[in-house]
């Protein structure tokens, strides 16, 4: 994994697609689910002991038995899942066998139902995943803030509906990216601190097997795991799952906007930005990142493409989780089960995309010369709006628009700069003369430096908002 030039270090899932969709640390795969389930079972044993409902030392014994996840065979758990509908009953049996002290076995899975263990494990997975994603996105935001400040004067063509519009600066573009990243981080952190809670209700949400000690055990379990202690079990109230998924989907949306801009600005014909540090010499033993299996000349924007690949899967996964929130009575027949894979996959994709986004923005190469050249090659057309505004006081809105529209059409079809069309076309010259517009005024109107509006103020505002979040 780490021997390929251009592929940064990090933990990838053991999948052929792991480098793209499981970058940034393995979260929510089978091994992570197993680890989380065992952590919940161990914490439950400690909570039961603390409540005086298990022999002294039972919690430590069960925790020790649960510490080594490798002793629990995932394939065997998969087989047991086919019999019971979820992996927890099989896991509880295996954990009980692994506890050598017979007296301590009474603390294993005490008073719990499968959903308690699964849902609480899901909260642990979310805490890990959202924390990893927030950290990478915060680092990406720092890099983006640097781009916004460094390029507040880097002129480029603004583009709307994929067509050239008025001039902007790359600093303003980066400031827009920064605002999205900061919002995504805030959303991830809000869910992490406010919505991750233990789920513990027993067979039907009453914890009846504990008599009047159920609420105490629930609170102790939350304390053991460092999760919030909700007022009551939430086994068929699934808004916490939806909140986790929504925060993840929002983050993916913010990342996808940046990645799409990068793919467009990195097109060969545009060439205003590029991914990664300057490429080292390629060799047959160390292929560079961005290469093609068919075209040796290619330098594909791999990070941006991977982010988009992750983000495109997000809406469907979120939709499945929202649709699964309709759950019957005290345990859903199928809807709860439908959550497990899309929930874990969405977390995995969010972590992966965040890792790619950090890599992308920390190493982005900006070609200000190409930005300036592309703007110059537009022949003044991006400033047509400003020329119209110059003529409006004398000619009125419709006439000024029509005059500039005719000039712009001639400029576009002939390749002659807009300035020359305006100043060398007799009927347009007459209009300008009638309006008292001089050549110097036209040339000033066609200077993009003077038509950036509130760009500086917007960049300052984005940087100030980012600084306050830090």
> Count of alpha carbons within 13 Å of 162, Cβ hemisphere only?
4
d(CA 228, CA 139): 27
d(CA 257, CA 304): 10
β-bridge pairing 163-169 and 273-274: unpaired
Q: Environment class of residue 220 by beta-carbon count within 10 Å: exposed (0-12), middle (13-18) or buried (19+)? A: buried
Catalytic residue among 159, 288, 331, 392: 331
d(CA 108, CA 94): 10
Distances from the Cα of 469 to the Cα of 178, 227, 244, angstroms = 12, 24, 21
Strand, helix or coil for residue 169: strand
324 backbone dihedrals φ, ψ, rounded to 5°: -80, -5
Structure-derived torsion over alpha carbons of residues 33, 39, 40, 45, reported in degrees to the nearest 10: 150
Catalytic residue among 292, 376, 414, 438: 292
Q: Which residues of 28-47 are buried (b: 16+ CB within 10 A; e: fewer)?
A: bbbebbbbbbbbbbbbbbbb
- Respond yes or no: is residue 468 known to be catalytic: no
- Helices 214-225 + 30-50 axis angle, to 10: 130
Evaluated on CA atoms 427, 433, 439, 440, the torsion sign reads: negative
β-bridge pairing 365-366 and 155-160: unpaired
- Respond yes or no: is residue 413 known to be catalytic: no
d(CA 108, CA 101): 11
- Are 240 and 122 in contact by the 8 Å Cβ rule? The answer is no
Which are the catalytic amino acids? 292, 331
């Amino acid at each position: 994994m780490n021997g390929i030039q251009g592929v940064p270090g990090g933990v990838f899932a053991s999948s052929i697609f792991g480098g793209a969709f499981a970058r940034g640390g393995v979260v929510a795969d089978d091994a992570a689910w197993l680890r989380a389930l065992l952590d919940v079972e161990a914490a439950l044993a400690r909570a039961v002991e603390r409540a005086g409902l298990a022999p002294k030392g039972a919690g430590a014994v069960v925790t020790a038995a649960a510490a080594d996840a490798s002793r629990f065979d995932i394939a065997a758990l998969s087989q047991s899942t086919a019999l019971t509908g979820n992996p927890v009953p099989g896991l509880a049996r295996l954990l009980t066998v692994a506890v050598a002290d017979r007296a301590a076995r009474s603390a294993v899975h005490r008073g719990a139902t499968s959903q308690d263990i699964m849902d609480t494990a899901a909260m642990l997975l979310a805490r890990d995943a959202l924390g990893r994603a927030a950290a990478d996105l915060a680092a990406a935001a720092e890099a983006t803030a640097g781009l916004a400040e460094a390029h507040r004067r880097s002129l480029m063509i603004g583009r709307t509906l994929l067509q050239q519009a008025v001039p902007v600066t790359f600093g303003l573009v980066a400031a827009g990216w920064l605002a999205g990243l900061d919002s995504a981080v805030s959303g991830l952190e809000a869910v992490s601190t406010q919505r991750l809670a233990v789920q513990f209700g027993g067979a039907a949400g009453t914890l009846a097997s504990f008599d009047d000690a159920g609420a105490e055990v629930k609170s102790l379990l939350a304390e053991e795991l460092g999760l919030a202690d909700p007022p009551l079990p939430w086994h068929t109230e699934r808004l916490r799952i939806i909140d986790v998924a929504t925060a993840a989907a929002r983050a993916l949306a913010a990342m996808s906007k940046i990645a799409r801009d990068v793919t467009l600005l990195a097109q060969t014909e545009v060439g205003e930005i590029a991914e990664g540090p300057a490429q080292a010499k390629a060799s047959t033993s160390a292929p560079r990142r961005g290469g093609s299996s068919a075209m040796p000349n290619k330098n594909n924007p791999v990070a941006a493409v991977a982010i988009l690949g992750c983000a495109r899967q997000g809406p469907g996964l979120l939709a499945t989780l929202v649709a699964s929130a309709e759950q019957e009575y005290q345990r859903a027949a199928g809807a709860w089960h439908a959550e497990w894979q899309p929930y874990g996959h969405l977390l995995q994709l969010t972590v992966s995309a965040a890792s790619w986004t950090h890599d992308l923005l920390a190493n982005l190469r900006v070609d200000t010369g190409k930005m300036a050249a592309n703007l110059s090659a537009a022949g003044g057309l991006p400033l047509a709006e400003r020329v119209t505004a110059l003529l409006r006081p004398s000619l009125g809105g419709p006439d000024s628009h029509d005059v500039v529209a005719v000039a712009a059409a001639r400029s576009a079809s002939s390749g002659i700069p807009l300035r020359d069309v305006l100043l060398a076309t007799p009927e347009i010259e007459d209009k300008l003369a009638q309006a008292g517009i001089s050549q110097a005024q036209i040339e000033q109107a066609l200077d993009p430096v003077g038509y950036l509006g509130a760009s500086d103020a917007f960049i300052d505002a984005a940087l100030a908002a980012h600084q306050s979040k830090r």
